[in-house]
Amino acid sequence: MTQPLIIQPQKTADACVIWLHGLGADRYDFMPVAEILQQSLLTTRFVLPQAPTRAVTINGGYAMPSWYDIKAMSPARSICEEELEESADMVIQLIEAQRQSGIDANRIFLAGFSQGGAVVFHTAYLKWQGPLGGVLALSTYAPTFSDVLPLSASQQRIPALCLHGQYDDVVQNAMGRTAYERLKAAGVAVTWQEYPMGHEVLPEEIRDIGAWLTKRLT
């Protein structure tokens, strides 16, 4: 397995963001975003893991970095939940590694774009037991969320920022909104932000993420 890209901050790290890329991308995809955020987050380490390369059914079986196989796009996403579970277990190992390095779990954040966000949602709200700093969900959805989320007390206390493009034609805006609504109904402190964009990341969005992280780290 490819080792995560670790971007150290200017000062001694006392916080960490574990950031998962989207389908077909790699660990370098969000390196520029991490470097921009570190200009103001001077003690925040970024850990950027890379998904295993595997055959993806919706892409004709072509192999690419993928956190889990997507078997069909509609009417609802059909995915390989076993592979998603494996990816979530990998994220938990990364959380534990950061805790062992001396980072308080309350200052560890999970971020994910598109498919990476689906893994982050699953990890934070269905698998991880204990405190976390929060979740950043970019242009993503929650294929493993049920209509009613049976959250533990610690899961309920994990805040989330959901960010989505109004014109996203890869992960429809409504799919992201559904994940947000289910978290909100479960009592999570979750915020929804929309941008005039497709399936991408905007500078304005990065600024909003930086402000959200800064508020929770100071």
Q: Annotated catalytic sites, by residue?
A: 114, 168, 199
* Torsion sign across C-alpha atoms 54, 60, 62, 64: negative
State how far the alpha carbon of 115 is from the alpha carbons of 36, 70, 187, in Å.
23, 9, 24
Torsion of Cα atoms, 98 then 130 then 136 then 123, to 10°: 90
Buried/exposed 68-93: b ≥16 CB within 10 Å, e otherwise: bbbeeeeeebebbeebbbebbebbee
C-beta separation of 186 from 149 below 8 A = yes
Residues 7, 61: Cα–Cα separation, whole Å: 33
Look at the alpha carbons of 192, 182, 70, 127 in this order and tell me if their dihedral is positive or negative.
positive
